[in-house]
Amino acid sequence: KDEFAKRNVKAIALSIDSVEDHKGWIKDIEETQNTKVNFPIIADTDKKVSDLYSMIHPNADAKVTVRSVYVIDPNKKIR
């Protein structure tokens, strides 16, 4: 997190899974990796954001998002 803060960058995650699933992931990560999840995870259960950013591959399982990274600059432009 310190490196992100130095660069004035914020990380967020998005998943089509539920908040309850995210709580389970966070617990598992914190217990098994000895680290804190210090960024928000957005539950996109209706897939609106995932569809908007083409994160669901048309030839893959609709329940699985494609791992993607987007950089949004201070002017809210995707790079």
Instruction: Report all structural domains of the chain as residue ranges with CATH numbers, in order of start.
Output: 1-79 (3.40.30.10)
Position of tokens 């950089």?
71
Q: Say how far apart CA 30 and CA 23 lie, in whole Å.
A: 11
Q: What is the pLDDT of residues 14-63, one digit of tens each?
A: 999 999 999 999 999 999 999 999 899 999 999 999 888 888 877 777 67
Contacts of 10 (CB under 8 A, 6+ apart): 4, 39
Q: How far apart are CA 8 and CA 5, in angstroms?
A: 5
**What confidence score (pLDDT) does residue 1 get?**
59
Of 72 and 33, more confident: 33
Q: What is the pLDDT at residue 62?
A: 67
